[in-house]
Structure 1
Amino acid sequence: MSGHPKPIMLHWVDKLTEDLIAHWPDKKEFHCNCGISVSGRQHVGRLRGEIVLTNAVVEELKRKGVSATHYLILYTSDPWKGKEAQLNAFSDPKDAEKYINWRLVDVPDPTGKHSSWIDYYWKDFGNPLPKFGKDIKIIRTHEFYQTEEMKKTIVALIQQKEKVRGILNKYRAENPFPENWIPFNPICDNCHRIGTTKALEVDLKTFKVRYSCSECEDEGWSDMKLGKLTWRLEWLAIWYTLNIHFEPYGKDHATPGGSRDSCIEVLETVLEHPGPYGFWNEWVGYSEGRTDFGDMTSSGFIGFTPTTWLQYAESHVLRYLYLKPPPKRRIVLGLDKLPSYIAEYDKAQRIYHNIEPFDDPSELQTILRSYEIAHFNKVPEYIGFQLDYNQAIILGQLVEEGEKGTEKAIIKLIATGILETKPSPEVRAHIHFRLNLARKWIKDCAPPHLQINIPSEIPKEIIKNIDPETRKIVLALAKTLETTSWTQEEIKKCMIELKTKFKLSRKQMAIFFGILYQIFLGTSRGPRFAPFIAALEQEWVIGRLTQIK
């Protein structure tokens, strides 16, 4: 943060890391953990706590000279619930009901292109994961249950199951676990379900469990390595087996006396092992337009994936959005609002590199530190230019794709004064990349008023409906533009002078802009006027305006 004042307060990541070290003062090696169930679409909301928050702490621990590992548990042995959105992923939802209560790893890929449901829905999260978090060790529970370490933990818990039951029942005033309860979900050897079985007896020497299945009424013995602990015990068994020191968790586990507290008590009382340091974070909501659809959810298929995000924006933009606000504040994301997210990141970049001043010292430090952490504490050198995403949205529609289109865009940027000189290879690559991102966003996500489709002629009905006074102002604008330097700023000044000259109110000005958009686009709305007009040829713009005579 060269050139900026010293921090007056710690960023929440730094404070959390210091608190974690204070909690474990003698530790030289930290194991940090998070977990997700691959029950459906793996949305970007899961990047917030499980990836960005945890990874930021891990990287800060490393910067302080201690060893740290980031584990990510994929709960692949959980039963597939067969919710409406899950069933609808298949071409025949009714037929897919046969997979209800199978282990997630056993459910087939609905597209038939991958080996399982897990592999299909994990790819759009797992493939781009290194862009959002570094050196993450992924563990799938169906594989973890095959290990000797997990087997020993299961044996220890079942050997003391009455003690476990007594503790958990303190938190279950209603529906307590009965005597002879066995905290294990066996897999049915007949119908392969794991969510419809009851453990009747265990043989810890052979690691077999006798079960009954309410679905197919089968009874028998099955391999415990194919089953799973009940979810609370599974959670704490992972803490114990991996020796976890830190794990963030969602607000659903943050209630005092809730699931996490019961797990901690079992871990510390039964297994005599300290519980991990915890930190809860809010969830991420999903919106379209002004509608908030609630929190993103995997099994409900609400939200969008990291792969989808990367089609329109860079990974560090989203990391910055997650790092700047307090983690206990809800964030709502919508792809239609993506230009504003990029604008927020670009502003942080300008502030960090002393290009743009910022007066609030408290927020300044949050911006600077968030920007650093977003880049894994290795901030790249400023290349000397930012292509505003909104500008890229306009240019991307006015020039063709590929290098030829990029060259035309650069010529326009230089001609309009946005780019002062011939760009360096780095700047050129940045322009090319942003143009491609913006084109893809326009195609998939943009509201209609940002999509540029210029009619070859002004529709006659539009010309006919322009009243004499407005016609006079439009022609005055055309005349003024003849001698105006063709830059965004000069065009803005021209519009301000026009407003003053004709004494137009704000409402009248809004109506006037609507008419201008009709002249150029055939619709009453469009991209920001000055950048849009500046991207067009001056002679053509003036000619278009004078067509209304």
Structure 2
Amino acid sequence: MTIPYVHWIDETVEKLAELKLEKYVLNSGISVSGPIHIGHARTELITPNAIKRGLEKKGFDAVHICILYTQDPLKSKVKRIVGKEFAEKWAGTRLIDVPCPYSCCSNWVEHYLKNFYETVKEFGLEVEFYTTTEIYREHPRMKEAIITCIEKRGELVEILNKFRTKKLPENYIPFMPLCNNCKSIDRTVALSVDIDSYEVEYKCLKCGSTGYSSMREGKLPWRVEWPALWYTFNVTFEPYGKDMAVAGGSMESASIIIREIFGLKEPHHMFMEWVALLVNNKPVEMTSSGGVYFEFTEWTKVSDPRVLKYWYFYMKPNRHLTFEPSLIPKLNDLYDEAEKVYFNIVEEPDEKERQAKCRSFELANDDKPPKEPLLLPSYRFMSTIVQAIGLKLDREKILGILKRTCHIDESTSDERIEAIMERAKQAIYWVSKYAPPQFRINVVEKLDESILSKLTETDRNFFREIAEFIESRKGIKPEVLEQVIYDKARKHYKPHRKGFQKLYLIFLGTKSGPRIAPFLMTLDKSFVIKRLKLLE
């Protein structure tokens, strides 16, 4: 019996729908400890937003909230992104009080949220954002949660000590006061609490000062803060990373605290694997404060948001992913292929694979897939075109090349033209900043003796036959020219790859490069013919 295919997003939506709640609150959270990266986007933005949309399609009231942690202390490891001196000076300071490291914004938080909200809109995500600073200062249910934790601190200490080697004392106050003097929040000790005035007496171990601080300016320890936020927003569902999923991790303690201290059920959860960045050929987990990341706000400069969303939806949530900027063309190819499968332009023989690609394509388009395919030239080809014209967004030249290669004609829609130009713009940025050497193109301006001396009579005959073919045709599709070159190479060389290497030699001065036929067609036709005839 064949088991029907169900996408993992739809499976999660179905399970939540069975609860039949009046309102669903899908929660996520990001610490503003440095640049927000695309790993955050997978777990905290794209996944819960898709589940929210799925619940809304079923007629439920659903909201996706994302907590931005701004009360946390600055970590010392930020020295990897802002330098040792700055990190040592401000380590332990509440994030919202840390100055902008580049003196371009009012503080640390504003700097690293700059352009973030705009990118969220570009991704088509509907999210309600709350900073922990405003939650502690203004939300009445957070105040209730804090008071509950203080009043039940004996029980709370018992729970926390189950997860600690060094036990907390019985008189421990589960609160991290803000030092009024140095703004440290991780080197303070709560000495006493006055619930009526909502103040905490503290001693700062960093600057030595003592005093009273409003509890609206401090924070709960993380293991207590997380379930307190569930209580504050009455959270229904939350995805989480593997750091919280380990035995004895914060997920386990938070689930106990929400039940035994707050008297509520823990939210439904989904385990999400991390996204790593390839560093020196080794995958390293992305970390904002640790300086290992590809920024979320950078994505829309190099690619369409739907490409990243498709990758995340197509891969199972427990699949560990590794990213590097050189993958951008390949990820675009995956999305383009899914589009062709969705519109039955390309056949996918495996039925489950076909359904996975089609459903992921729909989700990447926010369940509003286009009525017609765009069928854009590949990202790799666009990167070749823009390099051939000097990395300029020259509309006339780009469209001229695409007409020559039969990618567009007079009937091509304005929508498709604009999408092509957007991909060209992204390709320019990617080539300029991220493309590895094998993607970069530098055409040999003039053949010199160092190249000519390496050519044989076989090479000259091979080049001449290709030149004659190009010269005899007005419009050539890249795949047609590719086949002609392949056939000629097999005729003249064993192995045939030697022919391709000789073509790269006379045009690029190397033994390899981009796909040869599309590359040649980005160049001026007369130049290509003259070069093949060794006249230029």
Match of residue 6 from structure 2 = 10
Q: Are the equivalent residues in 1 in contact too, given 2:78–2:291 (CA < 8 A)?
A: no
Q: How far apart are the structure 2 equivalents of 1:274 and 1:209?
A: 30
How has the CA–CA distance of structure 1 residues 84 and 459 changed in structure 2, closer, same or farther, with 3 Å as cutoff? farther
Secondary structure, in 3 states, of the residue corresponding to 1:249? strand
**Within 5 A, what are the aligned runs for 1:136-215?**
136-147=127-138, 148-172=140-164, 174-215=165-206
Q: Are the equivalent residues in 2 in contact too, given 1:463–1:548 (CA < 8 A)?
A: no
Q: Are the equivalent residues in 1 in contact too, given 2:78–2:87 (CA < 8 A)?
A: no
Q: What is the CA-CA distance between 1:480 and the residue it aligns to?
A: 4.5
Q: How far apart are the structure 1 equivalents of 2:65 and 2:25?
A: 7
Q: What is the CA-CA distance between 1:426 and the residue it aligns to?
A: 1.3
Match of residue 446 from structure 1 = 435
Matched, 1:528 2:515: yes
Q: Are the equivalent residues in 2 in contact too, given 1:124–1:305 (CA < 8 A)?
A: no
Larger displacement relative to structure 2 (338-347 or 443-452) = 443-452
Query: What percentage of aligned pairs have identical amino acids?
Result: 34
Deviations 1:244-268 (A, max 9, x none): 0111110111124432121111111
How has the CA–CA distance of structure 1 residues 226 and 400 changed in structure 2, closer, same or farther, with 3 Å as cutoff? same
Q: How far apart are the structure 1 equivalents of 2:319 and 2:374?
A: 34
Q: What is the CA-CA distance between 1:481 and the residue it aligns to?
A: 4.1
Secondary structure, in 3 states, of the residue corresponding to 2:197? coil
Matched, 1:500 2:497: no
Larger displacement relative to structure 2 (452-461 or 328-337) = 452-461
Q: How far apart are the structure 1 equivalents of 2:386 and 2:35?
A: 30
Q: What is the CA-CA distance between 1:234 and the residue it aligns to?
A: 0.7
Q: Are the equivalent residues in 1 in contact too, given 2:462–2:489 (CA < 8 A)?
A: no
How has the CA–CA distance of structure 1 residues 124 and 295 changed in structure 2, closer, same or farther, with 3 Å as cutoff? farther
Q: How far apart are the structure 2 equivalents of 1:152 and 1:497?
A: 77
Q: Are the equivalent residues in 1 in contact too, given 2:46–2:125 (CA < 8 A)?
A: no
Secondary structure, in 3 states, of the residue corresponding to 2:192? strand
How has the CA–CA distance of structure 1 residues 84 and 402 changed in structure 2, closer, same or farther, with 3 Å as cutoff? closer
Normalised by the length of structure 2, the TM-score is 0.94
Q: How far apart are the structure 2 equivalents of 1:476 and 1:386?
A: 31
Secondary structure, in 3 states, of the residue corresponding to 1:419? coil
Matched, 1:287 2:281: no
Match of residue 246 from structure 2 = 255
Q: What is the RMSD computed on CA atoms of the aligned residues?
A: 2.1
Residue number among 352, 355, 363 corresponding to 1:365 in the alignment: 355
Q: Are the equivalent residues in 2 in contact too, given 1:287–1:293 (CA < 8 A)?
A: yes
How has the CA–CA distance of structure 1 residues 96 and 208 changed in structure 2, closer, same or farther, with 3 Å as cutoff? same
Matched, 1:437 2:431: no
Q: How far apart are the structure 2 equivalents of 1:261 and 1:480?
A: 69
Q: What is the CA-CA distance between 1:543 and the residue it aligns to?
A: 1.2
How has the CA–CA distance of structure 1 residues 7 and 408 changed in structure 2, closer, same or farther, with 3 Å as cutoff? farther
Q: What is the CA-CA distance between 1:225 and the residue it aligns to?
A: 1.0
Matched, 1:512 2:506: no
Q: What is the CA-CA distance between 1:533 and the residue it aligns to?
A: 1.1
Larger displacement relative to structure 2 (485-494 or 114-123) = 485-494
Deviations 1:453-481 (A, max 9, x none): 32331122111122444344334443454
Residue number among 264, 268, 280 corresponding to 1:273 in the alignment: 264
How has the CA–CA distance of structure 1 residues 259 and 456 changed in structure 2, closer, same or farther, with 3 Å as cutoff? closer
Residue type matched to 1:533 in 2? Answer: L
Q: Are the equivalent residues in 2 in contact too, given 1:51–1:132 (CA < 8 A)?
A: no
Matched, 1:395 2:382: no
Match of residue 40 from structure 1 = 34
Residue type matched to 1:158 in 2? Answer: I
Residue number among 24, 30, 33 corresponding to 1:30 in the alignment: 24
Deviations 1:178-222 (A, max 9, x none): 110111111112222111011111111111111111112222221
How has the CA–CA distance of structure 1 residues 75 and 144 changed in structure 2, closer, same or farther, with 3 Å as cutoff? same
Q: Are the equivalent residues in 2 in contact too, given 1:459–1:522 (CA < 8 A)?
A: no
How has the CA–CA distance of structure 1 residues 422 and 133 changed in structure 2, closer, same or farther, with 3 Å as cutoff? closer
Residue type matched to 1:130 in 2? Answer: K
Match of residue 533 from structure 2 = 546
Q: How far apart are the structure 1 equivalents of 2:439 and 2:232?
A: 53
Match of residue 325 from structure 2 = 335
Q: How far apart are the structure 2 equivalents of 1:482 and 1:11?
A: 51
Q: Are the equivalent residues in 2 in contact too, given 1:7–1:365 (CA < 8 A)?
A: no
Larger displacement relative to structure 2 (509-518 or 156-165) = 509-518
Q: Are the equivalent residues in 1 in contact too, given 2:278–2:322 (CA < 8 A)?
A: yes
Q: What is the CA-CA distance between 1:114 and the residue it aligns to?
A: 0.7
Q: What is the CA-CA distance between 1:345 and the residue it aligns to?
A: 0.3
Q: What is the CA-CA distance between 1:307 and the residue it aligns to?
A: 1.9
Match of residue 334 from structure 2 = 344
Match of residue 398 from structure 2 = 409
Q: Are the equivalent residues in 1 in contact too, given 2:336–2:375 (CA < 8 A)?
A: no
Q: What is the CA-CA distance between 1:133 and the residue it aligns to?
A: 5.0
Q: What is the CA-CA distance between 1:44 and the residue it aligns to?
A: 0.9
Match of residue 465 from structure 1 = 454
Normalised by the length of structure 1, the TM-score is 0.92
Residue type matched to 2:438 in 1? Answer: H
Q: Which structure 1 segments of 5+ residues have no match?
A: 1-5
Q: What is the CA-CA distance between 1:277 and the residue it aligns to?
A: 0.7
Q: What is the CA-CA distance between 1:497 and the residue it aligns to?
A: 1.9
Q: What is the CA-CA distance between 1:120 and the residue it aligns to?
A: 0.4
Q: What is the CA-CA distance between 1:95 and the residue it aligns to?
A: 5.0
Match of residue 63 from structure 1 = 57
**Within 5 A, what are the aligned runs for 1:279-318?**
279-287=270-278, 291-318=281-308
Q: How far apart are the structure 2 equivalents of 1:490 and 1:95?
A: 59
Residue type matched to 1:208 in 2? Answer: E
Q: Are the equivalent residues in 2 in contact too, given 1:285–1:292 (CA < 8 A)?
A: no
Q: Are the equivalent residues in 2 in contact too, given 1:74–1:141 (CA < 8 A)?
A: yes
Larger displacement relative to structure 2 (259-268 or 65-74) = 259-268
Deviations 1:24-68 (A, max 9, x none): x24121011011111011111100010011101111010111001
Q: Are the equivalent residues in 2 in contact too, given 1:492–1:530 (CA < 8 A)?
A: yes
Q: How far apart are the structure 2 equivalents of 1:503 and 1:215?
A: 74
Q: What is the CA-CA distance between 1:341 and the residue it aligns to?
A: 0.4
Q: Are the equivalent residues in 2 in contact too, given 1:471–1:548 (CA < 8 A)?
A: no
Q: How far apart are the structure 1 equivalents of 2:493 and 2:252?
A: 67
